[in-house]
Structure 1
Amino acid sequence: MENLFAYGTLKDKRIQETVFGKVLTGTPDSVTGFVTKEIKIEEEFGVTPYPIIVETKNPEDVVTGMLYQLTEFQLQQADTYEGIHYKRIQVQLESNEIAWTYLR
C-alpha cells in the first residue's frame, strides 16, 4: 500500500468516485513547512483555480489534509488525475508517516 496526503480536490468524495471508483477512508493529518496557494489551470470550458502546496521550510506553516492508503494502481490513477500541472513527491507528515503528495 502507498500513503497519499490529499489537501485539495482529492479529498472530495465525488472526485474520489470519479478517479478511484469509490470513496476512500482516510485520517486527518498535516504537513509542516508548506503553505497552500492557488494555481489556475486552463480546461475545456475556461480557467479553473486549484489549490497547490508550496514548500516554505517554515515550521509555523502547516497544511491540513487527509492521509489515505492506496494501491499502486490507485496511486497511478491519482497521477493521471493530477496531470502535468502537479508532480508527486514524498513528505513526512505530523503523524510521522511518509506519504506522497502533489505540488508544482
Structure 2
Amino acid sequence: MIAVMAVTSATELLFSYGTLRQREVQLTTFGRALDGRPDAIVGFELDYVTITDPHVIATSGSDRHPILKPGTGAVEGTVFAITREELAAADDYEVDDYVRIAVPLRSGRTAWVYVFADE
C-alpha cells in the first residue's frame, strides 16, 4: 500500500532538510508535529550557516543550521503538507540568511524550500 499525501487548495508542500524536521521545532513553530514523506531536492548542495537569533537557537538547540546552495548534488529530506498559515509561521522561524523558493523535487512534486539568500 502506498501512502498518499492529500493536497487541497489550502495545502502547501514544504520540503525540509534541516531543523524544521525536528519535532520540538515543529511543536514550537506550528503547534503540532508534522507527518512527512521522504523526498529529495536535486541541483543543490548542503552547507551550514551560523544562526544568531536567540529564539531560533533556543527552538532548534543549535546555532549551526544547514542551508542549501546551488550545486550539482541531491539533498535528502522530508516533504510536509502544511496550511498557508503554517507556511507563514515557517517564514517567521527562518532567519534572513534563508529565502523561500518553489522547486521541483525528485518525486516530481513541487514544494517550497528555504535556500541561501545569496545577496
Return the TM-score normalized by structure 1.
Answer: 0.91
What are the residue-to-residue correspondences of 1:79-94 with 2, within 5 Å? Answer: 79-94=91-106
Structure 1 outlier segments of 4+, above 2 Å: 43-47
Aligned residue in 2 for 1:54? 69
The structure whose residues are more often strand, as a share, is: 1
Return the TM-score normalized by structure 2.
Answer: 0.80
**Counterparts of 1:103 and 1:96, CA distance in 2:** 19
Aligned residue in 1 for 2:77? 65
Aligned length: 101
Structure 2 counterpart SS, 1:84: coil
- Percent identity of equivalent pairs: 37
The gaps in structure 1 that reach 5 residues or longer are none
Cα offset, 1:15, TM superposition: 0.5
The gaps in structure 2 that reach 5 residues or longer are 1-10
Deviates more, 1:77-86 or 1:39-48: 39-48
1:103 has 2:109 as partner: no
Cα offset, 1:43, TM superposition: 3.4
Q: What RMSD in Å do the two structures reach over aligned CA positions? A: 1.7
